[in-house]
A = this chain, B = another copy of it.
Amino acid sequence: MTFVSSAHLAGVVGVDATMVRKDLAAVAIAGRPKVGYFIGDVLSQLSGVLGLTDRNDAILVGCGDLGSALARYPGFARLGLRLVGVFDTDYAKVGRTIGEHIVLPMEKCKSVTRIFRVKLAVLAVPTRAAQNVADWLVSQGICGIWNFAPVDLRVPPDVVVRNENLALGLAQLLHQLRSRGVALAPS
Which residues from chain A sit less than 8 Å from chain B, CB to CB?
Answer: 49-52, 54-58, 64-66, 68-70, 72-76, 79-82, 116-117, 119-120, 127, 143-144, 146, 150, 158, 160, 162, 164, 166-167, 169-178, 180, 182-186
Contacts and interface: CB of A to CB of B under 8 A. Distances in A.
Contact of A74 (B74, B79, B150, B183): B150
Contacts of A170: 76, 79, 81, 146
Contact of A160 (B80, B160, B177): B177
A151 to B, nearest CB: 10
A143 B179 CA distance: 13
Nearest to A63: B65
A52 B186 CA distance: 15
A119 B177 contact: yes
A108 to B, nearest CB: 19
A176 to B, nearest CB: 5
Contacts of A173: 120, 144, 146, 160, 162
A45 B143 CA distance: 38
B65 A72 contact: yes
A74 B185 CA distance: 21
A186 to B, nearest CB: 5
Given A69-B65, A79-B171, A144 B54 contact: no
Contacts of A183: 119
Given A173-B144, A176-B160, A184 B65 contact: no
A51 B176 CA distance: 10
B69 A64 contact: yes
